[in-house]
Amino acid sequence: SVDTRKSSLMIKSIKNGADLINDVSGFEYDPNTLLRLKKYNISKVLHHMQGTPNTMQKNPKYKNVLLDIYDFFELKIKKKLKNKKIILDPGIGFGKTLKHNLTLISKISLFHSLGFPILVGTSRKRFISQISGKHDSNDRTGGTLASVLFMLSQGVQIFRVHNVNEVKQGILIFKKILSN
């Protein structure tokens, strides 16, 4: 996969074997992106971010974070991303406060009604240290795993993580306990 906002890099990556495109701008940064990607049958992560990487954490505000992001996804799917190879990412930590992030995580299953897979990246995010305080750790594996297991229980199946083996181990144990 490739994570970029630049269509030229997306095309180079596709030609070199990438089969998943993630653009944190929701395909808004480069106006040529969707036109250039049209001829490729490639999965795209529709990522939500309020603002830009430079401004996203400067006082993010929503009327209702859950419904605002739902509406964002719905509009993008109908107007711009007619291709059905879409994965939704609500953008935990991208233009969101602690309260916004917790609301999205706790109510993540709402997005299933849009009919697309959901991808979430909570690995090592700041919200973990905001909650754990003095119990924070460098890699935040415990907080990452807790959030992944909760969202797994809500039907989310795609996770962006740093500590792949530890999270996979946690998922295997969690699923085995549930099936017993």
Residues with catalytic annotation? 125, 160
Let me know if 96 is exposed, middle or buried by CB neighbors in 10 A (0-12, 13-18, 19+): buried
Angle at 88 between CA 86 and CA 89, to 5 degrees: 140
Angle, helix 65-79 to helix 98-106, in steps of 10 degrees: 70
Let me know if 88 is exposed, middle or buried by CB neighbors in 10 A (0-12, 13-18, 19+): buried
Eight-class DSSP state of 77? H
Name beta bridge partners: 37.
Answer: none
